[in-house]
Amino acid sequence: MQLLDGKKAAQAIKEDLTQKTTQLTNAGKPRPHLAAILVGNDGASETYVASKVKTCAEIGFESTLKRLPATVTEDELLQEIEALNKNEEVNGILVQLPLPKHISESKVIQAIHPSKDVDGFHPVSVGNMVSGAPTFIPATPYGILLLLQHYNIETKGKHAVVIGRSHIVGTPMSILLSRNSYPGNCTVTICHSATKNLKELCLQADIIVAALGRAEFVSADMVKEGAVVIDVGITRVADASKKSGFSLKGDVKFDEVAPRCSYITPVPGGVGPMTIAGLLMNTYNAYLKKHS
């Protein structure tokens, strides 16, 4: 069994982007610039945004964090997005989800200009992805593709089972793995909460992407010997031994599944850092498109 080390793979991408940013600044050009909007004080969202902003600083990107109270109106948020759309210095915009209930996520997603849609959730980006045109790919599936690439994992002709059909992970992952490219060319089965024979389907999988958000759901008896297992899940589970009061669990029972796998991602340190790497790559690509 080999660990798919997301920290290491993300580090390689960050070093490459750092070099490219240094070349830009040496040539007197502006730096790539990511703007993030955080609404409210959700603990997990705070952590995710902080780590995105911190990583931008690490690699020399500019970043702007706009914090808005949970009571902000939909109109006010849409105005903030419009200002960032018009801001020539900003290359990528992300609005950290989830949003408070009184704000329509789809309206917010559609308000971001497609040329700055580095989360890849805008219908234009999704349409381009489905039709195989160059576009922004949602950061988590993009990060998983980059991880498979980093470790040279063979995907052609493999049976991939994706558990979860969300718009941010499961659905785009299933589309990307079925595309005629590398990583891809898989035969894909997408499973969800109404799937009846999940265990039998998983047992046929050469590659499992677990993205259902249920701690330690995938057990050893669901995994074929030699499978590649990508664990997307991050669930906070109460843990009195931790200072924070919780520990992070993946969707896979790592200890019992790992010995059966050819490759497996750890949680934390697997898909998480790759998601940030995917976002940074999207921001860099948005920059290149604007400046080319």
From 14-22, 69-77, 114-122, 211-219, give the range in contact with ligand NAD by CB under 6 A. 211-219
Contacts for 174 with CB less than 8 Å, ≥ 6 apart: 160, 162, 165, 188, 190
CA 211 to chain centre: 11
Q: Is residue 52 among the annotated active site residues?
A: yes
Q: Is residue 221 among the annotated active site residues?
A: no
SS3 263: strand
Task: Write each residue from 133 to 152 as x if it is in contact with ligand NAD (CB under 6 A), else as -, in one continuous string.
Answer: -------x------------
In residues, how long is the chain? 292
Shortest Å distance, C-beta 282 to ligand NAD: 14
Q: Where are the alpha helices (DSSP H) in the chain?
A: 6-26, 43-59, 74-86, 105-111, 123-131, 139-150, 170-178, 198-203, 254-257, 271-291
Is residue 208 part of the contact set for ligand NAD (CB under 6 A)? Answer: no
Q: Where are the alpha helices (DSSP H) in 60-152?
A: 74-86, 105-111, 123-131, 139-150
Count of beta carbons in the 10 Å neighbourhood of residue 113: 15
Tokens of 259: 């010995």
Pick from 77, 94, 169, 227 the residue near ligand NAD by CB under 6 A.
169
User: Catalytic one among 96, 117, 158, 249?
Assistant: 96
Tokens of 20: 């490219």
Is residue 96 part of the contact set for ligand NAD (CB under 6 A)? Answer: no
Is residue 129 part of the contact set for ligand NAD (CB under 6 A)? Answer: no
Tokens 């993030």, residue?
Answer: 36
Shortest Å distance, C-beta 64 to ligand NAD: 22
Pick from 9, 109, 198, 207 the residue near ligand NAD by CB under 6 A.
198
Please, which residue, 24 or 144, has the CB nearer to ligand NAD? 144
Tokens of 76: 């006010």
User: Catalytic one among 5, 119, 206, 231?
Assistant: 119
Q: Is residue 79 among the annotated active site residues?
A: no
Q: What positions carry a catalytic annotation? A: 52, 96, 119
User: What are the residues binding ligand NAD (CB under 6 A)?
Assistant: 140, 163-166, 168-170, 191-193, 195, 198, 211-214, 232-235, 271-272, 275
